[in-house]
A and B are shown apart, each in its own frame.
Chain A
């Protein structure tokens, strides 16, 4: 605690002091004793300067050994196989296998950016500000880590495990040998109508219904189990959080459906398919 005999602001005996006014307001370090501060110069500026020097030296040193690649001149006559986007976009390119381009290339990145921007307004938990903690914000940390993990796994797959025709190649496989074309994919609504012997329209309806159930239960069950969480957030915040969350979880779910059941589309409309 602050030592009461220590004066932060020593008085000048030649001057007189008086309290002029009290102003209401908030500030980042007002009312937050004890104040454990140090001079920014030299403590912080020197630290920044040293880190900068290390990074500049490191990059210069690396640049001697890691050259920027330059391939053959651009030419429409030869198409490289596989065609790979820069590494940080490989997560989206990987999604092209499982989703139509408008979802993988436009829909998902838009949702990711909007979702990230919404985080401060959805997470109203006042705890866990300014320090590392898991126990005080389990849901926030685990869902963020889940998304980050997904993104990183996709990048790793894209960089090291995708080869000719965007097929899966283990590092020890011959990367120049083409793989046989994968067998046909099926659409979930068509599967339903065939297996259950119902009309195409009913098959589509059933598939749409299952998607509704997925989001419906995803909204209802957590609200029932974590009543406090639901009450604290309110309907709008809660619904936005959970829809975003289940869309994120839906991505690996769709990937799983594809890998296990060879399902291409789940929702089919005349204008778009998901």
Chain B
């Protein structure tokens, strides 16, 4: 049996046809159907303009941010198997991940690298979209969604900072949450806070930390925010972001 005969047979079976609804041969019709008859159609149209997908135009930064988010989700889930957000053991769990768990240090390193890189790529993506004027009508609202996603990215990175429960984590979060106490109206040290009856035990910082200082409650809150709440929010906003791109088409030279 030749290779041609083999592929002909495989692609004619009922199982193959059940999975792939387009033919195997490289014809214009099949190229169109590959996008059209698959979930890929949710992401891209059948045909795209030649100029708007050039790397020198897009810099590939939006897609890269998405890829990094996926990598972070995968490595994050793996890290969650070995990490317990308990202030008494969190630090030791990280030590275990780095020194005992197979490939643990690789996954932690990848998670951290991808996280920092994602902050960077989302920022560069925004810069590219600005420089090409791609936020202009009809894409105004998608730019707003993008700014929300930038904020969520920063919050994700920041909440993850506390989880290793080392000196870097504790004091970086201490600095950060001091800001919450200084928030106008909502913080105890902020303007108009005292006038509105804000105390150290009912202000914004208290809500974030579940206490007046960074401790067990703060660790649990940041863990839940980092692993559940914020990723879900990112996924929801990403869905809208992509759907809008799909509807409005890629910007780009005509």
Contact = CB atoms under 8 A, between A and B. Distances in A.
B178 to A, nearest CB: 6
Count chain A CB atoms within 10 A of each CB in B28, B60, B94, B161 and give the residue with the most.
B60
A101 B178 contact: yes
Interface string A85-115: 1111100110000001110111100000100
B110 A43 contact: no
A271 B191 contact: yes
B179 A120 contact: no
Contacts of A45: 35, 40, 44
A156 interface: no
Interface in A26-85: 26-29, 32, 35-45, 47-48, 51-52, 55-56, 59-60, 62-64, 66-76, 78-80, 83-85
Contact of A74 (B31, B47, B157, B165): B165
B168 A69 contact: yes
Contacts of A120: 135-137, 139-140, 143-144
Interface string B38-59: 0010001111111111010000
Interface string B72-101: 000000000000000100010011001000
B172 A84 contact: yes
A119 B48 contact: no
Contacts of B109: 62-64, 66-68
B249 A68 contact: no
Given A59-B117, A102-B184, A107-B184, A141 B171 contact: no
Contact of B119 (A40, A64, A88): A88
B171 A79 contact: yes
Nearest to A104: B179
B17 to A, nearest CB: 18
A240 to B, nearest CB: 15
Contacts of A68: 108-109, 111-113
B95 A70 contact: yes
Query: Which range contains the number of B residues in contact with the other chain?
Result: 35 or more
Q: A interface, how many residues as a size bin?
A: 35 or more
A123 interface: yes
B202 interface: no
Contacts of B171: 79-80, 83
Nearest to B111: A68
Nearest to A33: B254
Contacts of B45: 40
Contact of A129 (B63, B136, B172, B190): B136
A121 interface: yes
A226 interface: no
A106 B184 contact: yes
A38 B151 CA distance: 35
Nearest to A269: B191
Interface stretch (B8-16, B126-134, B220-228, B229-237): B126-134
A40 B35 CA distance: 7
B249 A70 contact: no
Contact of B91 (A74, A92, A100): A74
A126 B136 contact: yes
A100 B182 contact: yes
Given A70-B164, A113-B147, A130-B134, A121 B140 contact: yes
B233 to A, nearest CB: 15
A59 B110 contact: yes
A144 interface: yes
B217 interface: no
Contacts of A105: 178-180, 182-183
6 contacts: A40-B46, A45-B44, A73-B166, A83-B172, A120-B137, A128-B136
Given A55-B64, A86-B172, 5 more contacts: A44-B48, A106-B184, A128-B133, A148-B127, A271-B192
Q: Which 10 A-B pairs have the closest CB atoms?
A: A105-B179, A28-B249, A101-B182, A120-B140, A63-B109, A272-B191, A74-B170, A68-B112, A37-B47, A41-B34
